[in-house]
Amino acid sequence: MKIFFVAGEASGDLHASNLIRSLKEKISGLQTMGVGGDQMQKEGMKIVRHIRETNFMGFVEVLRNLRQIRGLFRETKRAIVEFNPAAVVLVDYPGFNIRLLSFLKEQGIKITWYISPQVWAWKKGRVKTLRRYVDLMLVVMPFEKNFLEKAGMKADYVGHPILDVIKNDEYDKSRLKRELGLGDSPVIALLPGSRKQEISRILPVMLKASEKFPGQQVIVAGANTQTVEYYSGILGKSGAKLIMGRTYDVMAVADAAAVTSGTATLETALFGVPQVVCYSANWLSVLIARAVIQVKYISIVNIILNRLLVKELIQGQLTVKQLTGELSVLLHSSSDRIRIGSGYRELRELLGKEGASERAAVLICRWLKPNGN
């Protein structure tokens, strides 16, 4: 059997790779091809285009890269036709994947979507499109199933796949500190994201704020989607230590963190690290987003809890002074650390149980082979 995957970001690459692993255990001779990254490639998937070429953030950035995106779209469609899969699994990445739906339906290819687009946050009219084209919708947030079903679309809740990946008690903090060349003083982790657009805007502010804590160790979590040379150009003479491709290890040793909005905010929470969430984008992108986004928060942590647990510094609020103040609170206020820790425990309970990748694989197999053949 052949299955084509489309995952355009680092988190999608990670979760899709675990899904592929579970599917290989259930489907003998499974062949996979698609858009993805190193993790999916390690599971034997043939890469059509790597995520380092597909990771765009913001409305303006997408417009600036339209030619490249159109080329990716044409190449992906051509690869699907040549591969002739039994099904396509779309993994998050809604801006691109939604535009594939009508083409896939025209080809008579079954469609499942793993990690639903956040239609509850913006562009709720997209539910009609999903209902029309998607055969199997697998959601990972506890409230998404009810939202979609109220909109007339069937959905299956499998739990969040991040719980399959992050098992905090398996990380030996003392050993990791030695391995990473760190001392005993507190660690501030800077997680500036994986896209150039966000790193270039947010990391310089993070670095300047971290300089206000000379007694602390500062680590920058570098994403494999970028090069060491790229980060070095931003770090300059900063005393921060760059650690590439080991984001979870960085989280495991951190005492406080500044985190760019995205999946990393949820990952940081599951590691129990007090955090301040940072977001900055092109002003036009933000203006458009504010016109269509219908949620109160930008952090997944706050969205799931439906309250402001972790501080969010957005656009003009993201200044060196503001970030320095918030990091100081996280490092020195025991009451705030206790409050955040309590909220993180509540968050973990809301996310359900481990095994999302396995449950998703079972549902996909049942959907592809309804008679067990």
199-235 confidence digits (pLDDT tens): 999 999 999 999 999 989 999 999 988 999 999 999 9
Q: Are residues 247 and 176 in the same domain?
A: yes
pLDDT over 80 (residue 15): yes
- Answer yes or no: are the C-beta atoms of 97 and 77 closer than 8 Å: no
Q: What is the pLDDT of residue 282?
A: 63
Cα–Cα dist 251/187, whole Å: 10
Count of structural domains, the chain = 2
* pLDDT, tens only, 125-160: 778 899 999 999 999 988 889 989 998 999 999 999
* pLDDT, tens only, 17-38: 999 999 999 999 999 999 999 9
The answer as to whether 102 is a domain residue is: yes
Instruction: Spell out the residues 6+ positions from residue 358 whose beta carbon is closer than 8 angstroms to its own.
Output: 22, 164
Q: Are residues 176 and 132 in the same domain?
A: no
293 DSSP 8-state letter: B
The answer as to whether 73 is a domain residue is: yes
Q: Read off the pLDDT of each residue in 89-93 and give the average, rounded to a whole number.
A: 94
Angle between helices 10-26 and 356-368 (to 10 degrees): 60
The answer as to whether 10 is a domain residue is: yes
Instruction: Spell out the residues 6+ positions from residue 306 whose beta carbon is closer than 8 angstroms to its own.
Output: none
Local confidence band at 44 (pLDDT 50, 70, 90 cut-offs): very high
Q: Are residues 301 and 194 in the same domain?
A: yes
The answer as to whether 244 is a domain residue is: yes
Q: What is the pLDDT of residue 196?
A: 87
Cα–Cα dist 373/93, whole Å: 31
Residue type, 304: I
% of the chain exceeding 70 in pLDDT: 90
Domain coverage including residue 72: 2-161+355-368
Q: Are residues 195 and 344 in the same domain?
A: yes
Q: Are residues 79 and 174 in the same domain?
A: no
Cα distance between the two ends of the chain: 12
- Answer yes or no: are the C-beta atoms of 270 and 253 closer than 8 Å: no
pLDDT over 60 (residue 7): yes
Cα–Cα dist 136/198, whole Å: 32
Local confidence band at 52 (pLDDT 50, 70, 90 cut-offs): confident
**Which H helix or E strand runs over 275?**
strand 275-279
The answer as to whether 252 is a domain residue is: yes
Residue 29: left (phi > 0), alpha (psi -120 to 50), or beta?
Answer: left
CATH number, domain of 300, equals 3.40.50.2000
Q: What is the pLDDT of residue 240?
A: 96
Q: Are residues 193 and 319 in the same domain?
A: yes
Instruction: Spell out the residues 6+ positions from residue 89 whose beta carbon is closer than 8 angstroms to its own.
Output: 3, 4, 5, 6, 16, 19, 112, 113, 114, 364
The answer as to whether 275 is a domain residue is: yes
Q: Read off the pLDDT of each residue in 166-180 and give the average, rounded to a whole number.
A: 88
* pLDDT, tens only, 286-341: 554 554 555 688 899 999 999 999 999 998 899 999 999 999 999 999 999 999 99
Residue type, 167: K
Q: Are residues 98 and 134 in the same domain?
A: yes
Q: Are residues 346 and 293 in the same domain?
A: yes
The answer as to whether 373 is a domain residue is: no
Q: Are residues 244 and 96 in the same domain?
A: no
pLDDT over 90 (residue 362): yes
Q: What is the pLDDT of residue 312?
A: 96
The answer as to whether 333 is a domain residue is: yes
As a whole number, the mean pLDDT across the chain is 90
Q: Read off the pLDDT of each residue in 85-96 and give the average, rounded to a whole number.
A: 93
Lowest mean pLDDT among 178-192, 231-245, 271-285: 271-285
Q: Are residues 122 and 225 in the same domain?
A: no
Q: Are residues 261 and 314 in the same domain?
A: yes
Which CA distances in Å does 143 have to 255, 291, 303, 332, 350? 31, 23, 10, 34, 9
Q: Are residues 109 and 192 in the same domain?
A: no
**Please, which residues bridge with residue 86 across strands?**
none
